[in-house]
């Protein structure tokens, strides 16, 4: 991979992404998120309780309960001005209850693509965690559509 020179703002953003990944997700430190994000962050991942910092902070503990050895790693960061696209890989073992799905003890690996901007409106992040792929990896049948719709409504 070719090493590129980043602007000072891009270097700062990379540091924030790494801290969010390491402290927020890998160690479950919700207090770290208060230091890293403005209150008006927009976290727009499907299934989050609310698309803001409070929703992100409510989501992480459930994820950590379901996958207690969760490990997210940033594989790539691509910048275009103040916008970035990140590719992350998540790994862990599905040990705990996740909504109606009991822990299976099986390993799971998934990718997530997130885009972020750090100007006036705070941060905007969208991710694709491919939950059905994880469901298949841990040996569970894909939930019926009606159940997925009900879960999505409950998480709003």
Range of the domain at 12: 8-154
Q: Do the domain assignments include residue 132?
A: yes
In this structure, the number of other CB atoms found within 10 A of the CB of residue 15 comes to 11
Return the SS3 of 15.
helix
End-to-end distance of the chain based on CA atoms, in angstroms? 40
Q: Do the domain assignments include residue 3?
A: no
Q: Do the domain assignments include residue 50?
A: yes
Please give the model's pTM, rounded to 2 decimal places: 0.72
CA–CA separation, 114 and 25 (whole Å): 14
Q: How do residues 68-104 score in pLDDT, each as one tens digit?
A: 999 999 999 888 877 788 888 989 999 988 766 788 8
- Nearest alpha-carbon partner for 115 in 8, 17, 4, 7: 17
């Amino acid at each position: 991979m070719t090493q590129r020179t980043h602007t000072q703002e891009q270097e700062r953003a990379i540091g924030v992404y790494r801290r969010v990944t390491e402290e927020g997700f890998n160690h479950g430190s919700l207090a770290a998120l208060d230091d890293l994000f403005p209150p008006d962050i927009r976290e727009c991942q499907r299934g989050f309780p609310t698309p803001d910092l409070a929703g992100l902070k409510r989501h992480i503990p459930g994820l950590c309960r379901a996958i207690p050895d969760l490990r997210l790693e940033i594989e790539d960061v691509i910048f275009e001005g103040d916008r970035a696209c990140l590719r992350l890989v998540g790994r862990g073992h599905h040990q705990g209850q996740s909504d109606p799905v009991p822990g299976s003890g099986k390993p799971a690996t998934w990718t997530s693509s997130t885009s972020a901007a750090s100007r006036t409106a705070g941060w905007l992040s969208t991710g694709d965690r491919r939950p059905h792929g994880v469901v298949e990896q841990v040996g569970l049948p894909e939930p019926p559509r009606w159940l997925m719709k009900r879960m999505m409504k409950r998480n709003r």
